[in-house]
Chain A
Amino acid sequence: MPIEIDFFLNNINYIGAMVLFVIGLYTVLTHPNLIKKVIGINIMETSVFLFFVSIGFISGANAPIVEQGQAAETVVNPLPSAMILTGIVVAIGVTAFALSLIVKIHEAYGTIELDEIMQIRSAEKND
C-alpha cells in the first residue's frame, strides 16, 4: 500500500497526463456535438503538453537561467517548455480552423450535432 501511494504521488504528472489523454479521446469519440469534439481535442493536446513539461521537470532544481560567472547547477530542462510553446501555437491554429469549419458546417446543414448531420446526409444520398 504505501509503496503504491508513493509511486502514485511521485508520478502524478504522468498519470494525470494519461488520464487526461483518455478523457479527451473519449470526449472526441462519443459526443455528437462538433464543438465538444473540438474541446476534446483541446483536452488531449493539453494532456500532451502536461506530459512534456513533466518530462523536463527535475525536483529540487532551479529555474534555467544561468547568470554570468555562476557555477553550473542543476536546472530544469528548458527544451520541453520551448517545444510546448510551439505545440500550443499549433493547437490554437488547429482549433481556430476547426471552429471556422464548424461555422461553415452550420451554415450548410443548419445543425452541428453529428447524428442529425448524418441523418441529413443519408437522406440526401437516398434521394
Chain B
Amino acid sequence: MINIHFPIFILTLLLAFATIIPLQKRPFDRRFQVIMMSVLVVSLVMAIGELIYVIDHGAYSYTFGSYERGIGIEFLVDEFSVLMTAVVIVIAFFILLYSIRDLEHEIDPSRIYSYYTLIFLLLFAMIGMIFTNDIFNMYVFVEILSITSVAIIAIKNKKDSLMASMKYLIMGTIGSITVLMGFALIYMVTGHLNMTLIAEEIVLVWEQYPLNILLAMGFILTGFGIKAAIFPLHNWLPDAHSSAPTPSSAFLSGLVVKAYVFAIAKMIYRVVGPDISTNIGLTDYILIFAVLSIIMGSVYALSQTDIKRRLAYSSVAQIGYIFLGLGLATDLGISAALFHVISHAFMKSALFLSAGSIIYLTGKRHVKDLSGIAYTMPVTMTVFCIGTLGMIGIPATSGFMSKWYLGLASLDAGQPELLIVILISSFLNALYYLPIVISAFLQEKPSRETIVVVSTQGTTVPRSMKISMALVGAGVIIIGLFPNIVMDIINMAVPTFIE
C-alpha cells in the first residue's frame, strides 16, 4: 500500500486542490472547510506512511519519468525530508484549523478563497523545496514560495501590510536573483544541475576554480540569507511578520523561513560538502552571523512594545540558533539544528496563534495592555505560557531539548563560548517573554477595562481556534518530554545528509 510515489502524490494533491479552489462558487462555508481539512489529513497520512517506509527501507532517490539522474529531475527522499514534510503538514493543519474562524475578521471575505489558494501553493512549494535534489528545480520552488509568501501578507489590504509586503518582495527578489547568479557560477564550473553530481564534480574541480566556487557560495549564502533573515539582512522580517494576518505570521515564522535555512544546509553540506566548507571558512563565517543574530535579535525584541513585533524579532534570534548548529559542521551540530527547526516551528506557531487570539478578541497589541487577560482567555494564555517556557528553556518543553542538544554540540565541537551565548540569550528571552506572561496571569485588569471592552467577536475565542492552539501547545510538550521521537529520525538522516 505504501509505495514510493507518495511524495509526488502529496505534491500533486496539494497543487490540484490549489487550482480547484478558485473555481468555487459557493461562499466560504462548512463544506469547503471540511474538504480542505480532509485534503490536509490525506496528505498527512501519506507523509506518515512515507516516513514509516523510509525508516524501514532507508533513503532513496526518486527520478521523474525514469530519466536518470543527470538528465531528469530527481527527488532525494531521505528521513529528514519526510519528517520535515510531516511536520509542515501537521503545523499547516493546525494553522488552517485556526484560520477558519480567524480570517473572517482579518481580511476581506471575498478574498478568503484566494488566501487558501496561496496557502496550498505555498505548501506545495515548500514540500517541493524540501525534497528536491536539483538546484534549478529548487530555484523554481523558491520563487513560488517567495511570491506566495509575499502574497499572503499583502492580501490584508491595510497600509502597513502593503508596504511591508513590498519591502519583503523587493528584498526577497534581490535574494532570489543573487541565488540564481550563484547557481550560474556553480553550473559554470561543474556542468551539472543535480546536487549529488555537483558534489562529486566539485571535489574534482575545486583546485582549478576555487574563486568560482567561493563566489558562488558567497552569492548563494547572501541570497538565501536575505530570505532566511540572518542578522544584518533581517530588516524586512519584523514589518512583514507583524503586519500580516495571524495565520500568515505563523506560517512565515514557523515554516517558510525554515525552508530557506534547510536550503542553505543542503547547499553547504550536500553540494559543496562539509570538508570544503570548513576549509574555506564558510562555516565559521556562518557562526559569526549566527551569534550576532542570536544576540541582536533578542536585544531588539526587548525594546518592542507591539506583541507581534516582539515575536518577529524573537524569530530572528531563534533562526540564529539554527545557523549556530549548522555552523558547527559536526554531526551533533547538524542534528541539533534540525531538531531546533522542528521544535521552533511548534513553539513559534503556538506563540503566534495565541497572540493572534488575543488580538482577535480584544484588539490590543501593546504589551502593557495585556494585564489580567489570563482570566478571560485561559486556554490562550496557557498556550502562550507553554511557548514562553519553551523559549526560555524550561525542561519538559521542546525548546529546552533543542538548547540541550545545541549546548552539547557546541561543547563537542570545542567551542564553549557558544554555550555562553546560548545561555545569555535564554536569559534575554526570559527578560522579554516573562513580563507578558506575568502581567497576564498575575496582574489585575485595570478596572475601567471591564466597562469599556466590548468585543465584537463575542466573549470567548471560538472553539476551533482553541483546539488548534491547544494541540500545538501539546506538541511542544510532547516533543519536550519524548524528544527521541524526532531525534532518532534525525540521527538516521544526518549521515546521508553529510555524505
Contacts and interface: CB of A to CB of B under 8 A. Distances in A.
DSSP class of B's interface residues: helix, strand, loop or mixed? Answer: helix
A28 B166 contact: no
A41 B157 CA distance: 24
A102 interface: yes
Contacts of A93: 143, 147
Contacts of A15: none
Interface in A57-96: 79-80, 83, 86-87, 90, 93-94
Interface stretch (B46-54, B180-188, B285-293, B418-426): B180-188
A23 interface: no
B173 interface: yes
Given A45-B177, A98-B169, A55 B187 contact: yes
Between A55, A79, A94, the greatest number of chain B beta carbons within 10 A of the residue's beta carbon is seen for A94
Contact of B147 (A44, A45, A94): A94
Given A94-B147, A109-B163, 20 more contacts: A37-B170, A41-B170, A41-B173, A41-B177, A44-B177, A47-B181, A48-B181, A51-B181, A55-B184, A80-B184, A87-B180, A93-B147, A94-B176, A97-B169, A98-B166, A98-B173, A102-B166, A105-B162, A108-B157, A121-B160
B140 interface: yes
A55 B212 CA distance: 13
A45 B175 CA distance: 11
Contacts of B136: 83, 86
Interface of A: 21, 25, 28, 34, 37-38, 41, 44-45, 47-48, 51-52, 55, 79-80, 83, 86-87, 90, 93-94, 97-98, 101-102, 104-105, 108-109, 117, 121, 124
Contact of B150 (A86, A97, A124): A97
Contacts of B122: none
A25 B166 contact: no
A15 to B, nearest CB: 14
Contacts of A102: 166
B169 A21 contact: no
B162 A104 contact: yes
B169 to A, nearest CB: 6
A111 to B, nearest CB: 12
Enumerate the 9 nearest inter-chain pairs by beta-carbon distance, A residue then B residue, closest first: A108-B159, A90-B143, A44-B177, A55-B188, A48-B180, A52-B184, A48-B181, A105-B162, A51-B184
B169 A104 contact: no
Interface residues of B, number: 29
Nearest to B174: A28
B151 A28 contact: no
Nearest to A14: B188
B232 to A, nearest CB: 14
Nearest to B167: A114
Contacts of A48: 177, 180-181, 184
28 contacts: A34-B166, A37-B170, A41-B170, A44-B177, A48-B177, A51-B184, A52-B184, A52-B187, A79-B193, A80-B184, A80-B187, A90-B143, A90-B176, A94-B147, A94-B176, A97-B150, A97-B151, A98-B166, A101-B154, A101-B165, A101-B166, A101-B169, A108-B157, A108-B162, A109-B159, A121-B159, A121-B160, A121-B163
Nearest to B137: A86
Contacts of B166: 34, 98, 101-102, 105
B67 to A, nearest CB: 14
Nearest to A43: B177
Between A34, A83, A121, the greatest number of chain B beta carbons within 10 A of the residue's beta carbon is seen for A83
Contacts of A45: 177
Contacts of B163: 105, 109, 117, 121
A40 B158 CA distance: 26
A105 B139 CA distance: 28
B438 to A, nearest CB: 27
A54 to B, nearest CB: 9
Contact of A28 (B150, B160, B165, B170): B170
A21 B157 CA distance: 33
Contacts of B154: 101, 104
